[in-house]
Every structure is written in structure tokens, then in C-alpha cells.
Amino acid sequence: MAETIHNGIRPLEDPGRPRIYIETYGCQMNVNDSEVILRIMQDAGYSLTDNIGEASVILANTCSIRDNAEQRIWGRIEQFRLQKRRQAGIVVGITGCMAERLKDKLLESHVVDLVAGPDSYRNLPEMVKAVTPDSPQINVLLSQEETYADISPVRMDKNGVSAFISIMRGCNNVCSYCVVPYTRGAERSRDPQSILREAKELAENGYREITLLGQNVDSYLWKGEHEVNFAGLLEMVAQVSPEVRIRFSTSHPKDISDEVIETMARYENICRHIHLPVQSGSNAMLEKMRRKYTREWYLERVRKIRSVIPECGLSTDIIAGFCGETGQDHRDTLSLMEEAGFDSAFMFQYSERPGTLAARKYPDDIPLEVKTERLNEIIALQNRLSLESNSRDVGKRFKVLIDGISKRNEEEFCGRTTTNKVCVFSAPGYSIGDYAEVEVTSCTSATLLSKLVK
């Protein structure tokens, strides 16, 4: 009997097929990769399950960014061992960055049957088929070309409002602390027409928010018949529908161009938010991190953003306790945070990653207690800055895209402002996926408490 072709963008419900269970760790890019994996496996005859007990294939799509991310996954692999004892014949696979970094070391656990790096997902069906107890399968070849451009991701999000589109893969920066260039390979941009096709498909299927993803979106460059840079791509995607919001991540301070900022200003549906990881406020640390910008450069970019889009939300990533970081370097980070006035931040302790430039060149010499103390100071300062930023919004009105039910009160919705702040409010008669006009009545450092404007 011929296989029916299922092109739908939501997971296929077909309990008659062998089931696949997928767990995702790490960044948004990995979430989108899991959706690509599901398309490939669905086309090969599988259907998704969220019940691990009925799966014949279990995949963990993993992250290596910090040691604690990997430790968590090792813990999970031990749980898969128990699952395998209960269900003979299931295939356990590790995909993603940890697969690429650890390669056959993962097989030593005697739990993992399959190891597939980020550029090998097209081969997953054959690899799964070829697994036997004595022949685990491994493919960790990185590619210069693979962008999965022709593969329509099967969207696994619950609410059908917000989706990711990967516009590029890999990374050509060599930030000295970072494992990503080794796990995801060289940078390559995806054909803009395939990106547009995906954006239109999402819009037609009721999605209201698209986030364009790349390790460094500002260096997106398609060298086809007509060259397209990131500003050009952003504009093309913004024109798909005024009802669909566009976000993007991640911008690199050395590469974010005036053209991108000005394009944002021209389209109301390009959200007023930039995630601009600074990592440190100390020039000495930035140099050692090989970030290729200075504190002054970074603050100039912030001023430019604010001069073109005064209301723009700004978030960042910060690493505490990088190699050789002095008390003064740390204070420079605190003062930069104050000057930039970040609305929110992801904050981490430095975690040495084997094989990176920093691991080879610089001792990881900041004691754990000092890293923790500095990180806590950074978090405390950011909490204050976030509260100040949110307080400035009290009394203001925002157009919010409803994307879920509030966690603290099931009677209320939650959604985001264009500046990427979370709002909670009650809105009888509204549904997830609707836009609502709200007025902020009070706030915490994490949330704007709001009421519907009639």
C-alpha cells in the first residue's frame, strides 16, 4: 500500500505507526532542529508521542554550552537505561551538540544506540533502521552546505501562535569560551526563498509570531542571483503579513548594522526588542573572549538603537568569572549593565569547555565561590534594573499577542509586548493567538500586571 504523504505542519496523530519520543535541551535553535528531525522521521513513517512508554525510538536533542547542561543529559541517559530494560528493542539516540562533541564516547554508556551530529539528520531514518545491539550507529560529519532549507519543520509547540525559522546554521566567530563553532560547524546562510515559503506557510496556518534564528543573524548573507543581507531578509519576512510579528535572535554587537536598526523602525510588525549579548563590561575580558568589540563600541550600539527606536527593549547575556577576571573587571560589567539599562538578561558562571581556545590558553582560575558571588551580584543588579524598567511601563498601553494561560492564575492570559515583556491580564472572550490592547497597572521585576483596554 502506498504511503500517504503528510505535509501538515502540526504533528501527525497516527497510533498505527511506530512512535518517536523527542526531548529537546538548549537553545531555540535546538527546538527548531527537533522540528526538522520530526519532519524527517514522520516522512519515514513514524509519529510523535509524548509518552516515552510507547516509543520505539527515543531521541534526546542535546546541548553542550555549559558543563551543567551536559551533566543533566548524562542523568537522563541513566533513566533511558531503565526504560530500555522495560522495553526490549527500543532505540535510544543522542542528537545535537553533545553528540557532536562527545562522538563515540556516548556509546561507552552502553545505553545509546545512535549518535547523530547537527548536520546528519537526513540520515536518521536509515541510522535507526541499521541499529542492532551489536552495531550502534554514528554520524558526526559536519557540512559546509546543509541548511535543511527544503525541510518543513513539524511544529511541536502546544498553542500554534509562535514559531521559529532557522535562517542560518553554524558560527564563524571564535569566541574563546564557546563550544558552538566546534559542535555546529561553519556558518552558512539559507536560501531566502525557502525562508519566505516557511514564513508564508506559518502565516497561513494561523501563526502570529515568527522568530528568525541564527548564532549571529547579522552576518546572514545569501549570495544568489541577488545578494540578500539580514536587513533585506528582515524586510522580506516583515512584508509577509502585517498581522505576523517578527523577532530575531541572536545579534552580535560587532555586526549589528544601522541598516538593520533602521529596517526595524520602518515596520511596526518587527518587534522592538534586540537581544545583544555583551558577555562582559571589561575591555580586557572582551579581548580575551575574542569578542572583537570594546565596551565603548557596545555602548555606542546601544545609543544608536535608542536614538532610532527609543522604546526598544534590550536584553543581554553575561558571563561571570571568566579566566583571570579581576574585581575591577567584574565592577566594569556591573557599571556597563547600569549604563545600558538592560530590560532583562541571561546570566551564567563561566564553565570551561574542553577544546575551546580558552581551555587551551587560559587557566579557569576564578574560584567557584568567587564566581558564585559575582554572579549573584550581577543577578541582584539585573533584578533591580528589570524592576526599574518595568516600573517605567506602569500606566502605558501595549498591544500584546496572547500566547498562553498565566501560570499564577488560570483565569488570566499571558502574552508579550513588542518589547518582549511578559504581560498577564484577564480578557474574557479573547483566545490564544489574539492581539489585545492592555494598560499596565503594576509590575514585578519579571511581569507587567495589566488590564484590558476596552
Complex with ligand SF4: residue 180 or 260, whichever CB lies closer: 180
Interstrand relation of 114-116 and 435-443 (parallel, antiparallel or unpaired): unpaired
Is residue 293 involved in binding ligand 5AD (CB under 6 A)?
A: no
Residue 420: which of 320, 276, 303 has the closest Cα? 276
Site track for ligand SF4 across 43-72, x = CB under 6 A? --------------------xxx-------
Segment contacting ligand 5AD (CB under 6 A): 47-55, 295-303, 343-351, 402-410?
343-351
The full DSSP string for 202-243 is HHHTT--EEEEE-TTGGG-EEESSSEEEHHHHHHHHHTS-TT
Distance (Å, rounded) from C-alpha 294 to C-alpha 6?
50
Can residue 342 be called a binding residue for ligand 5AD (CB under 6 A)? no
Residue 353 as a binder of ligand SF4 (CB under 6 A): the answer is: no
Positions 373 through 392 that interact with ligand SF4 (CB under 6 A): none
Q: Which residue is nearest to ligand SF4 (CB)?
A: 26
The correct pick among 39, 155, 184, 371 for binding ligand SF4 (CB under 6 A) is: 184
Look up cell 562522538; give the residue.
Answer: 103
Residue 26 near ligand SF4 by CB under 6 A: yes
Q: Is 414 annotated as a binding residue?
A: no
Supply the minimum distance, in Å, between the C-beta of residue 85 and ligand 5AD. Answer: 35
Give the torsion through C-alpha atoms of 151, 156, 157, 162, to 10 deg.
10
What own/partner pairs with CB < 8 Å and gap ≥ 24 does 298-307 have?
298/253, 298/336, 298/340, 299/336, 299/339, 299/340, 301/253, 301/256, 301/276, 302/276, 302/339, 302/340, 304/258, 304/261, 305/261, 305/274, 305/276
Determine the 3-state secondary structure of 117 from DSSP: coil
Rule CB under 6 A: say whether 185 interacts with ligand SF4.
Answer: no
Q: Which is nearer to ligand SF4, 250 or 447 (CB)?
A: 250
171 annotated ligand-binding residue: yes
Dmax over CA atoms of the chain, in Å, equals 71
Report the C-alpha gap between 284 and 294 in whole angstroms.
9
C-beta of residue 115 within 8 angstroms of C-beta of residue 107: yes
Q: DSSP class of residue 22?
A: E
In degrees and rounded to multiples of 5, residue 239 shows phi and psi of: -80, -5
Q: How many residues bind ligand SF4 (CB under 6 A)?
A: 13
Query: Which one of 66, 190, 252, 273 is in contact with ligand 5AD (CB under 6 A)?
Result: 66
Q: Which one, 34 or 241, has the nearer CB to ligand SF4?
A: 34
For position 181 contacting ligand SF4 by CB under 6 A, the verdict is: no
Q: How many helices (H) and strands (E) does the chain have?
A: 13, 21
- Candidate segments 23-31, 190-198, 283-291, 412-420, binder of ligand SF4 by CB under 6 A: 23-31
Please tell me the number of Cα atoms within 13 Å of 62 on its side-chain side: 32
Is 178 annotated as belonging to a binding site?
yes
- Cβ proximity to ligand SF4: between 27 and 240 the closer is 27
Among 117, 153, 277, 415, binds ligand 5AD (CB under 6 A): 277
CA angle 203/207/211 to nearest 5° reads 95
Residue 167, interface with ligand SF4 (CB under 6 A)? no
Assess 27 for contact with ligand SF4 (CB under 6 A). yes
Q: Does 340 bind ligand 5AD (CB under 6 A)?
A: no
> Any contact of residue 247 with ligand SF4 (CB under 6 A)?
no
Q: Pick between residue 242 and residue 354 the one whose CB is nearest to ligand 5AD.
A: 354
Q: Which of 63, 161, 167, 178 binds ligand 5AD (CB under 6 A)?
A: 178
Q: Which residues line the annotated binding site for [4Fe-4S] cluster?
A: 27, 63, 97, 171, 175, 178
Residues at the site binding ligand SF4, with contacts judged by CB under 6 A:
26-27, 29-30, 63-65, 96-97, 179-180, 183-184
Q: Which residues line the annotated binding site?
A: 27, 63, 97, 171, 175, 178
Residues at the site binding ligand 5AD, with contacts judged by CB under 6 A:
65-66, 177-178, 277, 279, 317, 319, 348, 350-351, 353
